[in-house]
């Protein structure tokens, strides 16, 4: 009986250890079977982001023997706990030596991390450890903590077969929606950034420009005018069975555009261009930007202070600033490069020649984005 009890305890402890390591809480700097130290890279978003990282990690691992990178990816809109929530919770719980070695962070995410977990959530970047740092042509709004590795922006995607003269301004877009009932859609803002940008710009176009880069809760008092506009547009949007439908995720609206159920949507430029290239969107789909524009930003990489492989993190980030990694991002997901175009494959840069990071309308409202989405859920999502 004693031997049986010991065997049960041993099995239980093994299970607990396995679960603890899988949770990403205290994995430490594990070693691969080749003896190289593991770098765990964390990211979230749409599937094209995952595909990009998988290709870059494969090249990185083949390029050297000191480190082996592996990807932990959280697909947006799945209902899983967000990456920022996980890392912030781990930091607040006092965890150290975790496998949060490198994390993809947008400028907007950075505001959330820093406001909720403190300035010491990320390691201050030491540019002397990045030989490719001099390649950068742009900087993050949080350059002390983030190294940008790609640019991204939301644009207006439309079917050029049916829309000969797309709107050039926000007001023209809203009028187009009313003049073409049922032919425009945007996804629920909490399920994807394209719909989130549509909501954000509809609300913040009524506010001073400084509000777009502020986390001050005072701006919430001025959201009503924008929400009145969203309510006004509601009955003119895409419908099914007589009810307005807000698709789930960025891909949901792209699918409607591909099937010609709608003629126009807000969409990520990189997702749209990459899917046109892959043939999942027809060649008739074009992109344009309105004025004031939808929001865009740089997306960077940060090194959480609770990670376990800082040297490996620097090695991976340095690779992501190389021409090889930038060409992969450009080829696989039409990401706007953060290094000089003359270092890149000219055949690849042709597809994004009109997308310049310098012309992006940046947003960084931190946790206010959660409040904005919650307000949309309660006031717009329930209108049916």
Residues 6 or more apart whose CB falls under 8 angstroms from that of 51 comprise 332, 333
pTM above 0.85, yes or no: no
**pLDDT, greater one: 164 or 334:** 164
135 compared with 353, residue with greater pLDDT = 135
Pull the structure tokens for residue 242. Answer: 């007589």
More confident residue, 79 or 321: 321
- pLDDT tens column, 215-258: 899 999 999 999 999 999 999 999 999 999 999 999 999 999 99
pLDDT tens-digit series, residues 193-204:
899 999 999 999
Dist CA 325 CA 64 (whole Å)? 14
- Alpha carbon separation from 103 to 44, 313, 317, 362 (Å, rounded): 9, 9, 10, 20
Lowest mean pLDDT across 45-49, 122-126, 205-209? 45-49
Q: How far is CA 288 from CA 11, 157, 163, 166, 226, in A?
A: 59, 7, 12, 8, 23
Distances (CA, A) of 116 to 85, 95, 324, 375: 10, 16, 35, 20
Give helix 269-278 / helix 47-63 axis angle, nearest 10°.
80
Specify the higher pLDDT residue, 180 or 334: 180
Residue identified by tokens 């050039």 is: 168
pLDDT by residue (tens digit) across 266-286?
A: 999 888 988 998 899 999 999
Nearest to 87 by CA among 297, 366, 307, 309: 307
- Among 28-42, 88-102, 174-188, whose mean pLDDT is lowest? 28-42
Q: What is the CA radius of gyration of the chain?
A: 22
Span 38-55, pLDDT tens digits: 999 999 988 889 999 999
Residue 5 has pLDDT above 70, yes or no: no
Would the pLDDT of 26 be above 60? no
Per-residue pLDDT, 336 = 85
- Residue corresponding to tokens 């007589």: 242
Query: Which residue in 372, 337, 342 sits closest to 355, CA to CA?
Result: 337
**The tokens of 311 are what?**
């040297």
Using CA atoms, how far apart are residues 126 and 144, in angstroms rounded to an integer? Answer: 9
What average pLDDT is seen over the chain? 88
Q: What is the pLDDT of residue 77?
A: 64
Predicted confidence (pLDDT) per residue in 303-317, tens digit: 999 999 999 999 999
């Amino acid at each position: 009986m004693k031997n049986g009890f010991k065997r049960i305890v041993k099995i239980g402890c093994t299970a607990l250890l396995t679960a603890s390591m899988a949770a990403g809480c205290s994995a430490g700097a594990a070693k691969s079977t080749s003896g190289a130290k593991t770098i765990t890279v964390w990211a979230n978003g749409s599937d094209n982001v995952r595909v990009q990282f998988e290709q870059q990690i494969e090249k990185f691992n083949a390029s050297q023997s000191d480190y082996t990178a592996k990807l932990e990816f959280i697909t947006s809109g799945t209902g899983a706990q967000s990456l920022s929530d996980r890392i912030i919770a781990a930091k607040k719980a006092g965890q150290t030596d975790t496998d949060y070695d490198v994390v993809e962070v947008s400028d907007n995410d950075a505001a959330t991390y820093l406001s909720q977990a403190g300035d010491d959530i990320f390691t201050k970047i030491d540019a002397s450890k990045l030989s490719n740092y001099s390649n950068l042509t742009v900087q993050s709004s949080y350059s002390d903590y983030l190294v940008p590795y790609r640019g991204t922006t939301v644009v207006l995607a439309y079917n050029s077969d049916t829309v000969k003269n797309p709107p050039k301004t926000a007001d023209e877009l809203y009028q187009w929606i009313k003049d073409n009932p049922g032919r425009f859609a945007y996804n629920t803002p909490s399920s994807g950034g394209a719909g989130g940008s549509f909501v954000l710009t509809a609300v913040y176009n009524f506010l001073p420009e400084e509000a777009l880069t502020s986390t001050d809760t005072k701006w919430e008092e001025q959201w009503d005018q924008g929400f009145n506009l969203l309510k006004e547009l509601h009955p003119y949007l895409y419908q099914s069975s007589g009810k307005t439908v807000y698709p789930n995720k960025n891909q949901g609206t792209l699918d409607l555009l591909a099937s010609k159920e709608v003629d126009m949507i807000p969409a990520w430029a990189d997702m749209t261009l990459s899917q046109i290239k892959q043939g999942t969107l027809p060649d008739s789909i074009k992109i344009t930007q309105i004025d004031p524009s939808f929001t865009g930003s740089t997306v960077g990489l940060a090194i959480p202070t609770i990670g376990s492989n800082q040297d490996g993190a620097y090695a991976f980030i340095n690779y992501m600033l190389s021409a090889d990694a930038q060409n992969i991002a450009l080829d696989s997901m039409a990401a706007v490069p953060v290094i000089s175009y003359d270092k890149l494959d000219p055949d690849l840069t042709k597809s994004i020649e009109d997308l310049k990071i310098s012309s992006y309308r940046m947003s960084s409202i931190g946790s206010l984005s959660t409040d904005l989405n919650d307000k949309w859920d309660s006031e717009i999502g329930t209108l049916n």
